[in-house]
Amino acid sequence: MKLLKLNKIIKKIFINHGLSNNHATISSNAIINAELVGAHSHGLSRLKMYCERITKKVINPKPKIKIKKISQSISFIDANNSIGFVAADIAIKKAIENSKKTGIGMVAVKNSGHYGLSGYYAEQAVKKNLVTMIYTNAPPAVAPHGAIKSLFGTNPICFGTPTGSKIPFILDTSISMINRGKIRLAARNNKKIPKDVALDKFGKPTADAKKALKGVQLPIGSFRGSGLAWMVDILSGVLTGSNHAGKVKDPFDDFSGPQNIGHLFIAFKTNLFVNNYNSRIKNNIRTIKRLPKVKGVKNIMYPGENKFKRFKMNSKKDIRVSEIIKKDLEMLKN
C-alpha cells in the first residue's frame, strides 16, 4: 500500500476514535515509522489494540496533559492517560528544549501508555545534536532472577548519539531475548518462535508463541538482564510515580484500567565537557570498524546503521500490509 495513503487511513481511524487532528498525526507517524524501520511488531499490528483501549475508555482520547516545571532542566509530565505516542512526543521535545537552555534536559512522564519504539524519539534528540537516554517500563513478561513468576516488563533501554555522519548511533533494545511484540505477532500469524527465548507456564522451553505469552520470557544475560530490567522499572516506574513492580497492565488483555506506564527522557549537549565531540566520536567509530573481522563479516556495524538503511529502502516502496492487518483496517474504518 502507498505510504501516504496508509498514513491517511491510520490518521482517519484515530480521528474517528476521538483523537484530535494533531494527536492523530503524531500517532500515525509513529506507527508508520515502525513499519519503515522493519519493527512490524510495533507498527500496524498494534493499531487495533490502541483503538480498543480508546473505545473501552482506558486510553483518554482528549487528555489534559500537564507539564510541571521542576527547574530549567527538569520537567514532570502528567499525561492524563493519553495514548503513549502523544505523551512521548511532548516529553522528548521538552527534554530537547530544556537541554538547549541549560545543557541537559530531563523529563519524567506518568499516566502514559505504550509509545511504540524508543528509538523513534531518540532520533529526534540526535537530530538536534544531542546525546539521549530513554527508559520505559512495560507489562509483566520476564521473571526476576530466581523467581518463577513474571513481573518485569521487557523494559527497553535506549541510547542515542550523533556520529558526525548522517547515520545516528541508536541503541534501542529490550532486556529480553526477544521482543514481546514479536511473540504476539508470531502468535497471531500461527508462527513459531526460537526455542531458547521463552518458557511455557510449566517452566519448559517452548517454540509455541501462544504458550510463550502465557509463560515467561527469558532475559538477556541471565541475572544481568534481570538486573537491567529492574533498573528500568525503578527509573521509569518508581521514580516517576507510575505503576511498577508488575502493576503495568497488559495493553492487549487487561482493560480494567489505564496502564499508567512511566517514561524517563534525558537529553544533553555533546559539548558539555569537550569541544571536539564530533571528531572524537568519528574516531571512536572508525577505530572499531577497522578492527580485524571474523570470517564472513564484511563490516562491523554500530547500532542504528541497519535500521537507517531499512528506513531509506522501505521509504521508496509500498508498505506491505498482510491480510490480517487489512481486515483490521477495514473494521476500524467503519
Residue 211 lies in a domain: no
pLDDT digits 0-9 by tens, 190-235: 899 998 888 888 888 899 999 998 888 888 888 999 999 999 999 9
Say yes or no: 96 and 153 in one domain.
yes
Say yes or no: 47 and 78 in one domain.
no
Average pLDDT over residues 100-120: 97
pLDDT at 220: 85
Residue 8 lies in a domain: yes
pLDDT at 181: 77
Task: Using alpha carbons, list the distances in angstroms from residue 155 to 90, 110, 120, 158.
Answer: 21, 15, 16, 10
Q: Distance (Å, rounded) from C-alpha 140 to C-alpha 43?
A: 21
Cell of 146: 530466581
> Looking at per-residue confidence, does 219 or 93 come out higher?
93
Say yes or no: 152 and 260 in one domain.
yes
CATH number for the domain spanning 23: value is: 1.10.1530.10
Q: Distance (Å, rounded) from C-alpha 302 to C-alpha 295?
A: 18
Q: Residue with C-alpha cell 511455557?
A: 200
Give the domain extent around 4. Answer: 1-55+307-334
Residue 185 lies in a domain: no
Q: How many CB atoms lie within 10 A of CB 159?
A: 19
Average pLDDT over residues 141-159: 89
**Terminal CA-CA length for the chain:** 19
Residue 19 lies in a domain: yes
Beta-strand relationship, 198-199 and 104-112 = unpaired
Q: Is the pLDDT of residue 110 over 80?
A: yes
Helix (H) or strand (E) holding 187: helix 180-188
pLDDT band at 69 (very low <50, low <70, confident <90, very high): very high
Cell of 9: 487511513
What per-residue string of b and e applies to 281-299 under the rule 16 or more CB within 10 Å gives b? beeebeeeeeeeeeeeeee
Give the rounded percent of residues in the chain with a pLDDT score beyond 70.
100
- Sheet of 169-173: strands edge to edge? 66-69, 74-78, 104-112, 261-269, 130-136, 157-161, 169-173
Q: Is the pLDDT of residue 179 over 80?
A: no
pLDDT at 94: 98
Say yes or no: 12 and 93 in one domain.
no
* Domains held by the chain: number: 2
Give the global pTM.
Answer: 0.92
Q: Is the pLDDT of residue 334 over 80?
A: no
Residue type, 111: N
Average pLDDT over residues 292-316: 95
Q: Residue with C-alpha cell 546503521?
A: 305
* Three-class DSSP category at 279: helix
pLDDT at 261: 98
Contact in structure between 308 and 168 (CB atoms under 8 Å): yes
Average pLDDT over residues 100-124: 98
Say yes or no: 46 and 97 in one domain.
no
Q: Distance (Å, rounded) from C-alpha 276 to C-alpha 287?
A: 17
Beta-strand relationship, 261-269 and 104-112 = antiparallel
Residue 147 lies in a domain: yes
Cβ neighbours for 114, distance < 8 A, ≥ 6 positions apart: 46, 50, 84, 138, 251, 259, 261
Q: Distance (Å, rounded) from C-alpha 261 to C-alpha 84?
A: 9
Beta-strand relationship, 74-78 and 104-112 = parallel
Half-sphere exposure of residue 49, counting CA atoms within 13 Å on the CB side? 25
pLDDT at 1: 86
Say yes or no: 233 and 314 in one domain.
no
Considering the chain, what is the average pLDDT of its residues? Answer: 94
Say yes or no: 48 and 116 in one domain.
no
Say yes or no: 11 and 119 in one domain.
no
Average pLDDT over residues 250-259: 95
Cell of 82: 493519553
Say yes or no: 99 and 247 in one domain.
yes
Helix (H) or strand (E) holding 132: strand 130-136
Q: Residue with C-alpha cell 537491567?
A: 228
Contact in structure between 165 and 207 (CB atoms under 8 Å): no
Residue 205 lies in a domain: no
Say yes or no: 114 and 26 in one domain.
no
Q: Distance (Å, rounded) from C-alpha 317 to C-alpha 69?
A: 43
Say yes or no: 72 and 152 in one domain.
yes
Say yes or no: 120 and 167 in one domain.
yes
pLDDT digits 0-9 by tens, 23-42: 999 999 999 999 999 999 89
- In 155-299, the DSSP E strands lie at 157-161, 169-173, 198-199, 216-217, 261-269
